[in-house]
Structure 1
Amino acid sequence: MSKMQERLTERFLRYAAVNSQSVEGSPVVPSTPGQRQLAELLQKDLSELGLVDLEISDYSVLTGHLPSNLPADYHKVPTVGWVAHLDTVNVNLSADVHPQIVKNYQGGDVLLNAEKQIYIKVSEHPELEKYIGSDLITSDGTSVLGADNKAAIANLMVALETLKNNPEILHGDIYVAFVPDEEVGLCGSKKMDFSKFPVDFAYTIDCCELGEVVYQTFNAGSAAIKVKGVTAHPMSAKNTLVNPTLVCVDFINCLDRMQTPEHTEGTEGFIWVESMHTNVSEAVLNLKIRDHSKIMYEARKKFIADAVDYVKAKNPKAGVELKIVDVYGNIADALNENNRVCVDHIFEAMRELGITPKDIAMRGGTDGSFISTKGIPTPNYFTGAHNFHSYCEFMPMTAVEKSCQMTLKLIELITK
């Protein structure tokens, strides 16, 4: 194991020990106290690494600044930021993570838990055998590992540590932001005070396999349709009762079954009936709206509004209300000829490091998808880990090291 891998491992284990799982539907940000605990730990570590203007907001957004060390006569370089999220996902597994290290993996299935006979099986995860000879970090099979996003946190901390220990490495102004509740709707990035993050562009490190690059994400929205029915006893229900469940069914029947998540791929969008909560008097239908194309995304929102108008006309005695909220945007929509250099730097860094790029149009979003809507283009690159949101998540340390090298190479390229 190289020195960098040792430092990444040490940092990751330090941060994985903090339970920072987020909770869907919380009325407050952060949704769990462990996220603030992790922010406070990182604030202390960042102070030791020489960052200034460190602040944790009421929403547990941690921001900090590493001042430029460039000579006074050096040419102007962009101010750059990095963003990582504090929370780990809740997929109904244990919130406590017990990492373990597989030294010098030599192939075959990986035993996670002897007592419960939990394995990562090569037959199900053939990507394992790409990493023969590498150390792996796994969970004990009872939880996710939390490489999403603590591998990124470790990456940034080791990169900053490298700059501190090697003052001859030149760099401009660097800002960092650690945000809560990414996994439950990018809630933390939406609470950022961007005056504390005055950057020309930024990066997230929040996808998986070695080489993955994401600068195309969904435009995303949510819709809630609330239906108030009319109750009546069956003996006198004719021409009186309005069943809110069936009103929702009228709306659902307007949708194209081929425009759903299970029938689309790549950059194809969809409308997803995520949930319906109903009783005899009222119902709430929750939808997700997704499309890479801004034009098609807006068209999907209009379709929903038109379908609701149709349902109202069909059920005039029902009370029907629609609320649509934009959640995040496509990073690509924030790119132009003046700022696209932030993406170009990723591909140049990979070329210089001998990494084969895997350009992905993500069927989802990152914190950068929201931050980009604020005029700060924020593409994303790989952590090196695999199988996010699963007990089969694992970190091959050779790939995680490459991700950290990417961070340092980007700093070098931006400073040229």
Structure 2
Amino acid sequence: MQHIIDRFISYVTVDTESDPNSESTPSTKKQWDLANKLVEELKQIGLEEVTIDENAYIMATLPSNVDFEVPTIGFVSHFDTSPDFSGANVKPQIVKDYDGKDIVLNKELNIVLSPAYFDDLLQYKGQTIITTDGTTLLGADDKAGITEIVSAMEHLIKNPDIKHGRIRIGFTPDEEIGRGAHKFDVAKFNADWAYTMDGSQIGELEYENFNAAGVKLTFNGKSVHPGYAKGKMINSVLLANKFISKLPQKEVPEKTTGYEGFFHVNHITGSIEATEVQMIIRDHSMKKFKKRKKFIKSLAKKFNKKYAEKFGSDIVQCTIDDQYYNMREKVEPVMHIVDIAEKAMKELNIKPLIKAIRGGTDGSQLSYMGLPCPNIFAGGHNFHGKYEYVPVESMVKATEVIVKIAEITAERAKNGKI
């Protein structure tokens, strides 16, 4: 277990925050720091065909150790962290034998991780938990996944008695800004199917996710001295506020669950002359997803019509870009890949929690690129913020699941069941 702790901490203490406003890949130069470190580590543990391309996509191979044909499987994780909260100077704290009480993350700032608010904590009583110090995110999303994949490959290399087919692993940049799979070379990866190790609590197994789009709204105004502004000034900040007030108030992340979709305003910058609003649209149903996009466009059209005469041109510009789609359509025809992961968990006494992701993973896009790719738990909780934590035992179990999937795949291939 200590080996996994040390590996995980060596990853999370490297700042890899991505930047949605950058057009480069990776979106931040600092992602190269961990990417290059990973390449060297993969070579050191004995993987073959270790490559990193000009966009920092990493791939490597563990060759088959059997003399019969086995489908090539893959495991994928991302090394960037979310720009929603700082990932610089991460100082992990290790809480051994968690007693089920409040965990003080930062005494000076009075930041407490409490099971009274985050009740998932209680299921890890008695375990070792890694937390933040309350000033940064942790980075378990998805450096826990990377830790598990590397550790599983190392275990298979050191234990050749465990029979497996050819295994490919891939690490990507920029997943947190929706671009993790954009430049992933599926043909080069050359796997029959793969799994992203990017879920949350132990047992999660997911092959459904949101359909997702990003929205950029730019509101235009006219600045006039406030003392003489009557009938002349158009305040773009107030326009943006009025637009936001027209969104369904109950269809926001904090008031939805399960298969319920939402509109989420996540960034606003502006002045009287111009205000930019960024938001995301999410829905599991493609029909409802399209309806949500149509609603935003029609609302923008109404604003432009209302202010056309006064402003002289469109007062709001609306751009909607699809980000990823529900992978269910691509995974259902090959459900045996989900069955294998479910069987692996059950053999390890892990209760599979098969549910829809209220988000997306690289696997969402990869599935539509020809690589069916369900998602498996990596163990972390409370992603993208200072309350993020990961139980070490969950990372250990995720590592074991990877090994078991490889073993079951080979066994089924040998028995002609794939």
| Aligned mates of 2:233, 2:76 — CA distance in 1 | 53
Match of 1:414 among 394, 399, 409: 409
Equivalent in the alignment of 1:109 = 102
Pick closer, same or farther for the CA change 1:278–1:151 going to 2, 3 Å: closer
Q: What secondary structure is seen at the aligned counterpart in 2 of 1:205?
A: strand
Query: Is the contact made by 1:227 and 1:283 (CA closer than 8 Å) also made in structure 2?
Result: yes
- CA deviation vs aligned residue, 1:204-249 (integer Å, no higher than 9, x gap): 1112211122222110001223344556678997887655456546
Corresponding position: 1:214 with 2:227: no
Query: Is the contact made by 2:92 and 2:132 (CA closer than 8 Å) also made in structure 1?
Result: yes
**Gaps (5+ residues) in structure 1?**
none
| Aligned mates of 1:108, 1:239 — CA distance in 2 | 59
Equivalent in the alignment of 2:57 = 61
| Aligned mates of 2:299, 2:367 — CA distance in 1 | 31
Corresponding position: 1:378 with 2:373: yes
Given the two structures, how large is their TM-score scaled by the length of structure 2? 0.87
Q: What secondary structure is seen at the aligned counterpart in 1 of 2:182?
A: helix
Counterpart AA for 1:208: S
Counterpart AA for 2:381: H
| Aligned mates of 1:114, 1:229 — CA distance in 2 | 45
Counterpart AA for 2:320: I
Q: What secondary structure is seen at the aligned counterpart in 2 of 1:336?
A: helix
Corresponding position: 1:15 with 2:11: yes
Equivalent in the alignment of 1:194 = 186
Q: How do 1:389-404 residues align onto structure 2 when only pairs under 5 Å count?
A: 389-404=384-399
Corresponding position: 1:330 with 2:326: yes
Corresponding position: 1:258 with 2:244: no
Match of 2:21 among 13, 21, 25: 25
Deviation of 1:382 (Å): 1.2
Q: What secondary structure is seen at the aligned counterpart in 2 of 1:83?
A: strand
Q: How do 1:20-169 residues align onto structure 2 when only pairs under 5 Å count?
A: 20-71=16-67, 74=68, 76-93=69-86, 95-113=88-106, 118-169=111-162
Structure 1 stretch displaced more, 223-232 or 364-373: 223-232
Q: Give the number of aligned pairs.
A: 407
- CA deviation vs aligned residue, 1:85-128 (integer Å, no higher than 9, x gap): 11223454561122233333444333445666654334334443
- CA deviation vs aligned residue, 1:142-198 (integer Å, no higher than 9, x gap): 332222212111111111011111122222221111111222x13232222223212
Structure 1 stretch displaced more, 251-260 or 214-223: 251-260
**Gaps (5+ residues) in structure 2?**
413-418
Deviation of 1:391 (Å): 3.1
Root mean square deviation of aligned Cα? 2.8
Q: Percent of pairs identical after alignment?
A: 38
Q: How do 1:335-346 residues align onto structure 2 when only pairs under 5 Å count?
A: 335-337=331-333, 339-346=334-341
Q: What secondary structure is seen at the aligned counterpart in 2 of 1:199?
A: coil
Query: Is the contact made by 1:216 and 1:330 (CA closer than 8 Å) also made in structure 2?
Result: yes
Structure 1 stretch displaced more, 95-104 or 371-380: 95-104
Deviation of 1:310 (Å): 2.8
Structure 1 stretch displaced more, 58-67 or 136-145: 136-145
Q: What secondary structure is seen at the aligned counterpart in 2 of 1:330?
A: coil
- CA deviation vs aligned residue, 1:276-328 (integer Å, no higher than 9, x gap): 44434434333321110111111222222233333333222232433210111
| Aligned mates of 1:213, 1:401 — CA distance in 2 | 16
| Aligned mates of 2:139, 2:27 — CA distance in 1 | 17
| Aligned mates of 2:223, 2:386 — CA distance in 1 | 46
| Aligned mates of 1:376, 1:99 — CA distance in 2 | 35
Query: Is the contact made by 2:253 and 2:262 (CA closer than 8 Å) also made in structure 1?
Result: yes
Deviation of 1:82 (Å): 1.1
Equivalent in the alignment of 1:388 = 383
Counterpart AA for 2:385: S
| Aligned mates of 1:49, 1:20 — CA distance in 2 | 23
Equivalent in the alignment of 2:303 = 311
Deviation of 1:361 (Å): 2.0
Pick closer, same or farther for the CA change 1:343–1:45 going to 2, 3 Å: same
Deviation of 1:24 (Å): 4.2
Q: What secondary structure is seen at the aligned counterpart in 2 of 1:190?
A: coil
Equivalent in the alignment of 2:283 = 291
| Aligned mates of 1:232, 1:238 — CA distance in 2 | 9
